[in-house]
Amino acid sequence: MAEKTQAELLKEQLFRRDKHACEALGAEEIAQGDAFCEGYKAFLDACKTERESAAWLIEQAKARGFAPFEEGKIYAPGAKVYVNNRDKSVILAVLGRQSLEAGTRIVAAHIDAPRLDLKPQPLYEEKELALFKTHYYGGIKKYQWTAIPLALHGVIMKKDGTAIPIAIGEDAADPKFCVTDLLPHLAREQMEKTLAKGVTGEDLNIIIGSRPLLLDEKSAGVKLNILSMLHEKYGIVEEDLISAELEAVPAFPACDIGFDRGLIGAYGHDDRVCAYPCAMAAFDRERPEHTAVAVFADKEEIGSTGNTGLEANYLYDFLVGLAAGQGANPRKMFANSKCLSADVNAGFDPTYPSVMDPNNSSYMNRGVVLTKYTGSRGKSGASDASAEFVAWVRNLLDEAGILWQAGELGKVDEGGGGTVAMYLAKLNIDVVDVGVPILSMHAPFELAAKTDIAMMHKACEAFLGN
């Protein structure tokens, strides 16, 4: 082999080169990552909504020795506690050996995803079809939600406080639901519109029935037939739908993509692809040096609003309550805390290169993506991590042997997006976004690479420490 030239040696010393997982990892480590992803696929299929994700997290936490957090209780190192915020967001914590004044280590993901929510009064009949009216949740391309099988998940709350869980469309024997689209033969005007206007929000009506109720040999309508079926099975009347949270989500399971099975195709990678590795890392902590905290928030896709989004005070209240039990100064705790905002970034798609900056994009199978800032057009709405903290995270990832890359969400003036990072930064916590690159983000069917998911798990383990 010819000796390397002086220029080649200098490039090796000075240039950064991201490595593909198949180049950087051994076959055994890749196989371990693939095995980890089998659990993740099962999680995706079981948890298609924030309520189902929260219930799964709490069930798994209890099985691993986590107990509900008690205000004012003094916890010893190694104690494991959780907070259930209205069945829609969850906090896990493992108490560390150091005082809380030395800071905590927080990983923060979200468990909501784009979907179709039912309107408060959704059920109507038109031309002998029964339909549900919807209001889309989060940033979606509306046309992507037509002509695919949908499942209905959520809860119906009756006036007496009875909760009726709903999950219809996931089992093979279940009926499915669907938003229709125009046939191409009659869609000339529709296809002359922009993609944004070809299907409108008010067009996203879900077919739920087509057979009328027959009484005394006369038809009483399809709507009445559907309500009769719902009343018989669930004991509800139409007014109960006003106090329901019902979400229409894609009715297909997670699956491997490609001949090499290197990718996972599924609904809800954003952001459960980060939530699952965060949870598994938190579950395995025993007596970490710093108190390890994992946050699983609701409402990120609509701005983290409401009392279950991270704009609310429930994380702040929990940490202050934890500090009070130790007699620790909460201001010192926040100032010395560090956080990974665990959220996805856009993977480089060779079919659509024009919106990306190739030098500042994330790529599939090259590990987690470190995103110094998010926001859009001039960093508006961004949480811009400090150079010092980014350097600290770089060092942590390198020392743990974790594949990572740096990236932004597209070209400067193409768009952008936000994460929960700004709400952690508001507490005077050092925070930076670290997550998994995704293809077809916010579509009903997204793609993620198995090796990137495994690297996310390792990154959370290294960050939370032991």
Q: What is the pTM for the complete model shown?
A: 0.95
pLDDT in tens, 341-392: 999 999 999 999 999 999 999 999 999 999 999 888 888 878 899 999 999 9
The dihedral over CA atoms of 352, 355, 361, 364, expressed in degrees to the nearest 10, equals -20
Quick check: 148 and 312 in contact, CB under 8 A?
Answer: no
For domain 115-250, is the CATH number 2.30.250.10? yes
pLDDT tens digit string along 138-192? 999 999 999 999 999 999 999 999 999 999 999 999 999 999 999 999 999 999 9
Amino acid 448 reads A
Of residues 65 and 377, more confidently modeled: 65
DSSP structure class, residue 260: T
Fold of 15-113+267-464: Aminopeptidase (3.40.630)
User: Taking 90 as the threshold, does the pLDDT of residue 17 lie above it?
Assistant: no
Is 115-250 in the same CATH topology as 15-113+267-464?
Answer: no
pLDDT surpasses 70 at 57 = yes
Say how far apart CA 174 and CA 394 lie, in whole Å. 48
Question: If you average pLDDT over residues 395-423, what whole number do you get?
Answer: 92
Question: What is the rounded end-to-end Cα distance, in angstroms, of the chain?
Answer: 44
The arithmetic mean of pLDDT across residues 428-434, rounded, is 97
pLDDT tens per residue across span 252-265? 999 999 999 999 99
Secondary structure percentages of the chain, helix, strand, coil, to 5? 35, 25, 40
Residue 466 above 90 pLDDT? no
Distance CA 211, CA 144 (A): 27
Quick check: 108 pLDDT over 70? yes
At residue 1 the predicted structure's pLDDT band, cuts being 50, 70 and 90, is low
pLDDT of residue 12: 85
Quote the mean pLDDT of the chain.
Answer: 95
Domain layout of the chain by residue ranges: 15-113+267-464, 115-250
Q: Assign 3-class secondary structure to 319-369.
A: HHHHHHHHCCCHHHHHHCCEEEECCCEEECCCCCHHHCCHHHCECCCCCEE
